Structure 1
Amino acid sequence: MKKRVVITGAGVISPVGNNVLDFISNIKGCVNGIGEISAFDNSLYKTKLAAEVKNFDPKEFNIEGSRKKDRFLQFALVAAKEASKNSAYIITEENSFRTGVVVGSGIGGIISIEEEHKKYLSKGPKRVSSHFIPKSIINMAAGHVSIELGTRGVCISDVSACATGTDCIGHAYRLIKDGYQDAVFAGGCEASICELAVSGFEAMSALSFSDDINRASIPFDKERNGFVMGEGAAILLLESLDSAIKRDANIICEIVGYGQASDAYHITAPNPDGKGVIQSMKDSIKEAEIDITEVDYINAHGTSTPLNDEIETNAIKKLFKNHSENIAVSSSKSMTGHMLGAAGSAEAVVCAYALKEEFIPSTINYKCKDESCDLDYVTDGTRYEEIEYAMSNSLGFGGHNSTILLKRYNK
């Protein structure tokens, strides 16, 4: 018998808040998390802006041995500890093997890679840190979370570029639904605002070169010209409904569907026909056993790149047909920038609380209508209304298309 799966905890480190309450409050308040790059001297770069995490000191969050952990690992630990705390889920000897971790990253410890490579070139191989490898490999996100919280069940890191956070949640959902685990900490983390990563994305002409914080990350706007790099982490505690009810947990919302499909087209560009994202959305709806007309809101991938926004718009129109006119659509990246491997999980948090607290977030700084992007992108500020089903899309380099479908919790 398949199990119902609910979300009972969440933790966030983001450009618009370093805990879930501040994050949701600032999303509702249409706060722009984008600013001048402070992580390094960017005078030689075209890229002037990023969505950095502000006022983050790992010592203040009680991250033991923080110097031995890359920034992406620090983010993951803080978010996981918050999800654990606000879920009130107690890990015991009895339930530890039924409690898992699925936490990934799109890029991993690139800051440590950059730092240690500089050290290698200037001082030689003997000066490379013995902590270099465990600081930089992606699976350490899940490993550190498991060690910190004491989980002994499934411990794995899914990696699918910018779809990572969504796929980690989808993987965790299936583990619980199919009875392999009772609870799973799931999500993504990323910290790649550094010289090497910005150089790489800039060379691809993927980033916005705008120097205006209000006209840089502008999804679906006709003047969009690239994404703004963000960073952070978002971890959710997924739990079987039986487990949540048994311990009288605070249930945020229910997860009812997950879809994943490949474009099989290009390493970076989405397939113009949109068939991959259409299939991922379609499969999430099929698993939820609902009609397409029941979807109220879509948190779009919405990167503010010319191709992505148009192709995602057309995919929504092709799948939902006339109902696409009734669906509210928005992109959290207008506020957070693109958090890469953490984007999907951060946007899942937005959807979860949108269902619980009855609001639809805005796409901020939208000004110029694009004739090829003609959905209801919620550009007039936060809407306060009840929604029953919220969908979150993530698309990643390599052709990854992932969708999760969330439902307002009804007993």
Structure 2
Amino acid sequence: MTKRIVVTGIGATSAIGGTAPENWQNLLAGMSGARPLEHEWVAKYDLPVTFAAEAIVRPDTVLERPTAKRLDISAQFALVAALEAWADAGAPEVAPERLGVDFATGIGGVWTLLDAWDTLREKGPRRVMPMTVPMLMPNSAAGFLSLHFGAKAFARTVASACASSVESIVSAYEHLQSGAADVIIAGGAESAIHPITVASFASMQALSRRNDDPATASRPFDVGRDGFVMGEGAAVLILETEEHALARGATIYAELAGGAITADSHHITAPDPEGTGAARAVRRALELADRTPDEVTHINAHATSTPVGDVAEYTALRSVLGDRVHDVPISATKASTGHLLGGTGAIESVFSVLAVKERVAPPTINLENQDPAIPVKASSQPQALGEGPQLAISNSFGFGGHNAVAAFASYDA
């Protein structure tokens, strides 16, 4: 028997807000989180890209100092978002053995790793922190969330590049369906705005180079798009079975109706230009949700603002929705938040949940001259979704050919 899986709590921190409500409000207002990087290492290494979308609220200003010192900044973001989501869900009373963690990152503790390397070279091995390995591990955030919330069902980590956190949300859906837990803390986090990652992404021509105007640099679907903008932060959804949520009188935001994961097996970094794997993920997510393409009312696109990726995603969506893809309100929210890498699917899932709940599709900012090769229904202003049942899909695709899609529906008890 298929269970209904529902969202009962949300939390988010990014370049446009320190909480989920702030992110949503600023997203609808058309805020851009991209700003010049004010770090000495930008000039020191003569970086070709001098801006990014750094989180507007630093996590060490939210967490207690002893806690923050034991965590890489990516895990700090994870805890900040999880604390908000947990409180938003009403701090569910659940047996530890029935509480799980499905959490993701694309890179993990890169700052901890490279800071430790600098310490080793400059000061010797005795000065390397004993907490270095627990802090740099990709599973550090999942492990710490398990410890903090007493989650004993499992603490699992996904690392599938930019598809990571939607994969974790899909995994949570499957674990709740299988009965492995009653409540799951799901999401993803990333903090990798570091000179080595900026230099590396710039070297492969993946980043926008609009150093003179960072706020308009990320421009999905626009003919002038020239790459993505690095972002950072985290987002968390509290997911549980409808039965458990109703039994405790929880407020329900939306239903996680289904989700799917596929692989392109095409190229380590480039998407399949035909979008075949992405299309299969969309179809499978809808099948698991027992919905048809005609029922989709909103799409939160992966849309990174790269010349090739945006077109491939449109091709995939059209193969599933047909010409109807031109009439479904679509949002590319990375234009506002930047690209959170392994955390991006989580915050876009939060936005999808709020879109179906509030019946509004967020704007896609910086869309000045839409590419005629991508004739989707995007707008620089919020788009009303109308009355009746809502069904949103949130797409995430990552290096390695990873495709992950989650489907969220408006909740009607």
Question: 2:268: which partner in 1?
Answer: 267
Which residue is equivalent to 2:62? 60
- Return closer, same or farther for 1:30/1:393 CA change in 2, 3 Å cut-off: same
1:283 aligns with 2:284: yes
Provide the rounded CA distance (Å) in 2 between the counterparts of 1:200 and 1:131.
27
Distance 1:4 1:381, change over 3 A: closer
Corresponding residue of 1:138 = 138
1:209 corresponds to:
209
- 1:255 is matched with which residue? 256
Query: Deviation per CA, 1:135-186, whole angstroms, max 9, x where unpaired?
Result: 1111111111111111111111111100011001110011112222111000
In structure 2, C-alpha distance between the alignment counterparts of 1:54 and 1:37, rounded to whole Å:
12
The aligned residue for residue 342 of structure 1 is 343
How far did 1:39 drift? Answer: 4.5
Distance in 2 (CA, whole Å) between partners of 1:182 and 1:33 is: 36
- Pick closer, same or farther for the CA change 1:306–1:187 going to 2, 3 Å: same
**Identity between Structure 1 and Structure 2 (%):** 34
Residues 7-406 of structure 1: matches in 2 within 5 Å? 7-43=7-43, 44-62=46-64, 64-92=66-94, 95-211=95-211, 212-383=213-384, 385-386=386-387, 388-406=390-408
C-alpha contact (below 8 Å) 1:362/1:383 kept by paired residues: no
TM-score by length of 1: 0.97
Please report how far the alpha carbon of residue 216 of structure 1 lies from its aligned counterpart in structure 2 after TM superposition. Answer: 0.7
Kept in 2: contact 1:190–1:339 (CA 8 A):
yes
State which drifts further: 376-385 or 52-61.
376-385
Corresponding letter in the other structure for 2:283? K
How has the CA–CA distance of structure 1 residues 384 and 323 changed in structure 2, closer, same or farther, with 3 Å as cutoff? closer
Where 2:235 maps in the other structure, the secondary structure is: strand
Matches of 1:257 and 1:60 in 2, distance apart?
A: 34
CA distance in 2, matches of 1:119, 1:89: 40
Residue 160 of structure 2 aligns to a residue whose secondary structure is: coil
Q: Report the Cα offset of residue 59 of structure 1.
A: 4.3
Which segment drifts farther, 395-404 or 54-63?
A: 54-63
Q: CA deviation at 1:271?
A: 0.8
Q: Deviations over 1:40-59 (max 9, x none)?
A: 53121110210001231524
User: Partners of 2:385 and 2:28 in 1: how far apart?
Assistant: 9
TM-superposed CA distance for 1:12, in Å, is: 0.8
Greater shift after overlay, 211-220 or 253-262?
211-220
Q: Which amino acid aligns with 2:30?
A: C
What per-residue deviation string (whole Å, max 9, x for no partner) do you get for residues 32-81 of structure 1? Answer: 11101135531211102100012315243336431221100100011111
Equivalent position amino acid for 1:314 in 2? T
Give the count of matched residue pairs: 409
**Superposed displacement of residue 372, structure 1:** 1.1
Counterpart of 2:250, as a letter, is A
Distance across 2 between alignment mates of 1:251 and 1:113 = 39
Q: Secondary structure of the equivalent of 1:394?
A: strand
Given that residues 226 and 305 in structure 1 are in contact (C-alpha distance below 8 angstroms), is that contact kept between their aligned partners in structure 2?
A: yes
Does the aligned pair in 2 maintain the 1:91–1:151 contact within 8 Å? no
Runs of 5+ in structure 1 lacking a partner? none
TM-score (normalised: structure 2): 0.96
TM-aligned CA deviation for residue 2 of structure 1: 2.2
C-alpha contact (below 8 Å) 2:59/2:76 kept by paired residues: no
Flag as ranges the 4+ runs of structure 1 deviating above 6 A. none
Does the 8 Å CA contact 2:298/2:385 hold for their aligned counterparts? no
* Stretch of structure 1 that moved more, 315-324 or 162-171: 315-324
Cα deviation, residue 384, structure 1: 6.0
Change (3 A) 1:150 1:231: same
Residues in 2 aligned to 1:39 and 1:277: alpha-carbon distance in whole angstroms: 37
Please tell me the residue identity of whatever aligns with 2:214. I
Amino acid at match of 2:299: I
Residues 339, 108 of structure 1: alpha-carbon distance in 2 compared, 3 angstrom cutoff: same
Displacement of 1:231: 0.2
Q: What does the per-residue CA deviation read over 1:273-314, in whole Å, with 9 as the maximum and x for residues that have no partner?
A: 110100000000111111211001110000000111010011
Aligned-partner Cα distance in 1 for 2:241–2:275: 33
Unaligned runs of 5+ in 2: none
Q: Distance in 1 between matches of 2:203 and 2:215?
A: 23
Aligned counterparts of 1:40 and 1:247: Cα–Cα separation in 2:
51
Q: Does 1:408 align with 2:406?
A: no
Structure 2 distance, partners of 1:108, 1:99, is: 23
Once residues 193 and 36 of structure 1 are traced to their aligned partners in structure 2, the CA distance between those partners, rounded to angstroms, is: 12
Q: Find the aligned partners of 1:82 and 1:12 in 2 and give their Cα distance.
A: 8
Q: Contact 1:236–1:349 (CA<8 Å) still a contact in 2?
A: yes
- Give the letter aligned to residue 147 of structure 2: I
Superposed displacement of residue 90, structure 1: 2.9
Q: State the Cα deviation string for residues 101-150 of structure 1 (Å, max 9, x = none).
A: 01111000101111111111112222221111111111111111111111
**Residue 336 of structure 2 aligns to a residue in which SS?**
helix
**1:185, 1:96 → 2: CA distance?**
12
| Aligned-partner Cα distance in 2 for 1:14–1:39 | 19
